Chains A and B, each alone.
Chain A
Amino acid sequence: MHRVLGDRRAVLILLGPALLVYSLIMLVPTLWSLGYSFTKGNTIDGFTGNGLDNFHRLFTDPDVRHALWFTAKYAVTVTVGQVVAGYLLALLYVFFLKKASALIRTLVFFPVVLPTVAVGLLFKNLFQVGPQTGPVNSLLNAVGIESIDFFGSSGHAFWVLIVMDIWRSMGFYAVLLFAGLVDIPDEVLESARLDGASGLRLIRHIVLPMSFPVLMSSLIFSINGTLKAFDSIIALTNGGPGNSTSPLTLYMFQTSFTYSDYGYGSTIALLLTVVCLMVTLVVFRASRRDLTKD
């Protein structure tokens, strides 16, 4: 192995194609997009350089502030929701259902494989108030509460979106965390139990620290995925009402492709990239702490 990795020609042959593909589909578009950030225009009018104007606009645009705030709020809420729900499900699979968990695992995982648009339509129908009353409003009516126009106000639409995205993805995180939990050696758990640890104490001092790496991976997966959320929001609210559920991704898309402002759209994309990078670094930094020490 050392001989192969020591031979630069072999390294080049083995890594070259992957490096080339990576460069073509990741690095070049990223750099290209960065280049567009210093221009204004579109494919019809052509592009002209405008220096740092787009960056100046980025810091003064109230729509960016709104989209950034929504993105942060959405990412934190959904990440907490899907990782906590996934972890609780994983604990349920490992410690309660044990070998009988296969069927439940499959059922909870099922929404992950459903197309996002289908899930969006499902939730739209569940929560709709007009033209027909959806099951959720029917339930509210049955207990004497008036129908709520869930997609008519930003607050309600936000929570329907959160519920939908947690429901849709918790099965994935449950399986991911389940894999981390089954890796904990039985002997360790047994020893902990003999030492008197059980229930929450066992989870707090043994299970949580030992599944911490996979938990951290889930967090990074989740936060990065939710910061870039697009399809589920388009399918359920299309960013509305107004732009109240528009994240940065949607604002970037609209700016570039609907308003034909590719330069500013690229600047928003750059902001999103920086946010993702910063959040990932913060999560990595936080993960250095050793949870087994109080």
Chain B
Amino acid sequence: MNTDSSAARRARLAGLTASTAVLALFTAACGGTGGGSTSAPKNFSYLTVNENATVKTALGTLSKGACADENKALPLKVESVPQTGLDQKLQLLAGQNALPVQFAAGNAPALTDKLYKSGKIADLEKELDKLGVLDQIQPGAISTIKALYGGKMEVLPYEYNIEGIFYNKKIFAKDGITEPGTWAELTAAAAKLETKGVQPFSASGQQGWPLTRLISGYLYRSLGPDALQAVKDGKAKLTDPPYVKAAQEIADLGKKGYFGKGVGSIDYDTAINQFLTGKAAMFYMGSWALTNIADKKANTVGADNIGFMPFPAVSGGKGSIDQYPSNVGLGITLGKNIDAKTGDWVTCIAKNYGSTALKDQGSISGFKTNSEVKDANAVAGKVRRTISDSQQNVLWFEALFSTKATTVSQTNAASLVNGTMSPQQFMQTVQDALKSE
């Protein structure tokens, strides 16, 4: 016989429900704050992306060589995640106060800025100055970082890249083409190559950014170096006729078949492979491609047969071909709390990273090279000289955009060049994404 009164049963049921809820909330709450710690780090932990091996390789070399003492005191510990998962990982770690000592700070500058504003990352100009190694950073690299990150030095220049057009000298010579200096000459050269059965450009539509870089290149040459700052400041819109004209010019390259078949399906590796195996005559890319160019196995064209030219001038435009789009690669930054051992590591990196990365991997960084390093090939030397001579740098198309507008721009770029989206539609879509955040 059941002797429980209904009130007692209700009370028991309510108690059980409440306990379950409290337990659940407690468990969930624990998940949100676990791992947060302000105590001194046990490792020089470094979170990076699988796709970028340059920095972790160079840090590994330093940990065994020039920075062996620092490594003994605070061992280097590298963790890698796929680049597509980096932003999520950072947000989770930041939410738990569990960010590593050093980390790749997100795919778009907007996320890095968010981390900085929430006090998760260090003001590196101040910190490097305190450590006495601010002079180890090239001024051009500092100005590029500041232009990207709202006037603050939020990342270290483990890479310092300029962008331009790499071209196959052999193909150009065979078809009697000289280095184009203007946009009209470039399109004429592309048309000539096309008629000779040579694919003029190699580009990855899957990534999208190699195509949108061409739009910003045209914009900087036609409207001047402030073209995209004006959009950010609300003084201009991407749907304004001169901006649409830039998209139109790039769409026309696609319409004429200059990027080859199925550009939207081509990934970065395939695009670079097409160029380095002589299947395409030109390749717009950053100076990080020098590592691939120096790779004798991958580059069947031969490094000596590759030239580098700036994005050409647009007749009557306000920009100059001396203004190079520049970037510091994937932003890598330091957590807010820099203790003595971390400071020693940073000092050692600032003094030795530049020459180590250049010597071992042909990678150009924003750190000064304190020992003489011979260039891997002529094109690497030309790019390095261009970087040191460069007086004014500009950014890339999405540099000042929000994360959403960056994604929208890059995922629609292939549609622009394969003709499924008009230049007006493309610019309108990106402008709408800019407006929505």
Complex CA–CA separation, A188 to B429 (angstroms)? 61
Which of B84-92, B148-156, B300-308 forms contacts with chain A? B84-92
B95 nearest CB neighbor, chain A only:
A43
Contact indicator A241/B412 (Cβ below 8 Å): yes
**B228 contacts the other chain (CB 8 A):** no
Contact indicator A152/B87 (Cβ below 8 Å): no
Contact indicator A44/B94 (Cβ below 8 Å): yes
Residues 174-211 of chain A, each 1 if its beta carbon lies under 8 Å from chain B, else 0: 00000000000000000000000000000000000000
* A129 in contact with B20 given A8-B9, A242-B421 (CB within 8 Å): no
* A44 in contact with B414 given A130-B265, A149-B262 (CB within 8 Å): no
Give, as a whole number of angstroms, the nearest-CB distance from B305 to chain A. 21
**A240 contacts the other chain (CB 8 A):** yes
Complex CA–CA separation, A28 to B25 (angstroms)? 8
Give, as a whole number of angstroms, the nearest-CB distance from A137 to chain B. 9
Give, as a whole number of angstroms, the nearest-CB distance from A244 to chain B. 8
Complex CA–CA separation, A12 to B115 (angstroms)? 47
Q: Within A1-55, which residues are at the interface with B (CB < 8 Å)?
A: 6, 8, 12, 16, 19-20, 23-24, 27-29, 32, 42-46
**A259 contacts the other chain (CB 8 A):** yes
Give, as a whole number of angstroms, the nearest-CB distance from A217 to chain B. 31
**A153 contacts the other chain (CB 8 A):** yes
Give, as a whole number of angstroms, the nearest-CB distance from B32 to chain A. 8
Residues 1-44 of chain B, each 1 if its beta carbon lies under 8 Å from chain A, else 0: 01010000100000010001101110110001000000000000
Contact indicator B91/A147 (Cβ below 8 Å): no
Point out which of B2, B120, B264 has the most chain A C-beta atoms below 10 A from its C-beta.
Answer: B264
Complex CA–CA separation, A153 to B415 (angstroms)? 8
Residues from chain B with Cβ under 8 Å of A46 in the complex: 118
Contact indicator A153/B420 (Cβ below 8 Å): yes
Contact indicator A240/B266 (Cβ below 8 Å): no
Q: Within B73-121, which residues are at the interface with A (CB < 8 Å)?
A: 87-88, 91-92, 94-96, 111, 114-115, 118, 120
**B372 contacts the other chain (CB 8 A):** no
Contact indicator A259/B88 (Cβ below 8 Å): no
Complex CA–CA separation, A153 to B263 (angstroms)? 12
Residues from chain A with Cβ under 8 Å of B412 in the complex: 241-242
Complex CA–CA separation, A238 to B205 (angstroms)? 13
Contact of B266 among A24, A130, A147, A254 (CB under 8 A): A130
Contact indicator A44/B95 (Cβ below 8 Å): yes
Contact indicator B403/A128 (Cβ below 8 Å): no
Complex CA–CA separation, A254 to B412 (angstroms)? 15
Residues from chain A with Cβ under 8 Å of B369 in the complex: none
Q: Within A244-282, which residues are at the interface with B (CB < 8 Å)?
A: 254, 257-260
Residues from chain A with Cβ under 8 Å of B323 in the complex: none
**B270 contacts the other chain (CB 8 A):** yes
Complex CA–CA separation, A130 to B263 (angstroms)? 7
Contact indicator B87/A130 (Cβ below 8 Å): no
B19 nearest CB neighbor, chain A only:
A20
Contact indicator B95/A24 (Cβ below 8 Å): no
**A77 contacts the other chain (CB 8 A):** no
Contact indicator B91/A260 (Cβ below 8 Å): yes
| Number of interface residues, chain B, beta carbon within 8 A | 47
Contact of B261 among A42, A129, A154, A260 (CB under 8 A): A129
* A42 in contact with B264 given A32-B28, A241-B412, A242-B415 (CB within 8 Å): no
Residues from chain A with Cβ under 8 Å of B118 in the complex: 44-46
Residues from chain A with Cβ under 8 Å of B111 in the complex: 260
**A151 contacts the other chain (CB 8 A):** yes
Residues from chain A with Cβ under 8 Å of B263 in the complex: 130
Contact of A254 among B25, B407, B420 (CB under 8 A): B407
Residues from chain A with Cβ under 8 Å of B404 in the complex: 258-259
* A243 in contact with B411 given A32-B28, A149-B418, A154-B420 (CB within 8 Å): yes
**B437 contacts the other chain (CB 8 A):** yes
**B260 contacts the other chain (CB 8 A):** yes
Complex CA–CA separation, A143 to B172 (angstroms)? 36
B107 nearest CB neighbor, chain A only:
A258
Q: Within B380-437, which residues are at the interface with A (CB < 8 Å)?
A: 402-404, 407-408, 411-412, 414-415, 418, 420-421, 429, 437
Complex CA–CA separation, A204 to B415 (angstroms)? 47
Contact indicator B265/A129 (Cβ below 8 Å): yes
Residues 250-286 of chain B, each 1 if its beta carbon lies under 8 Å from chain A, else 0: 0000000000111111100010001000000000000
List residues of A whose CB falls within 8 A of some B CB: 6, 8, 12, 16, 19-20, 23-24, 27-29, 32, 42-46, 124, 128-131, 133, 147, 149, 151-154, 238-243, 254, 257-260
Q: What are the 8 tightest A-B residue pairs by CB atom distance, in nearest-first order?
A: A130-B262, A43-B95, A129-B262, A130-B261, A28-B24, A242-B412, A152-B418, A257-B88
Query: 22 A-B contacts, Cβ less than 8 Å apart?
Result: A6-B2, A24-B27, A43-B91, A43-B92, A44-B94, A44-B95, A44-B120, A45-B114, A129-B262, A130-B265, A133-B261, A152-B265, A152-B414, A152-B420, A239-B411, A240-B411, A241-B415, A241-B418, A242-B408, A242-B412, A243-B411, A259-B402
Known: A16-B16, A28-B21, A129-B265. 7 other contacts (CB 8 A): A20-B20, A23-B24, A32-B28, A43-B91, A149-B261, A154-B420, A259-B404
